[in-house]
Amino acid sequence: MREKMDSIEYLILIPCWYWTIAFIFGVFYSFRGIVEKMIMIANNQLYLSNQIETWQKVVIIYIQEVILKFLITISSFIAFYVACEIFPSPNQIDSVSPGKAVILIFLFVWGIIGICGYLSFFITRGKIPGIK
Torsion angle of the four alpha carbons 99, 92, 9, 84, in this order, in degrees rounded to the nearest 10: -80
Asked if 27 and 18 touch (Cβ cutoff 8 Å), the reply is no
CA 22 – CA 74 distance, rounded (Å): 6
Look at residues 96, 40, 98, 33 and name the one whose alpha carbon lies nearest to residue 62.
33
Q: What is the pLDDT of residues 16-38, one digit of tens each?
A: 999 999 999 999 999 998 888 88
Local structure of 131: helix, strand or coil: coil
* pLDDT of 62 strictly over 90: no
pTM: 0.76
- For 22, residues 6+ apart whose C-beta sits below 8 A from its C-beta are 73, 74, 77, 78
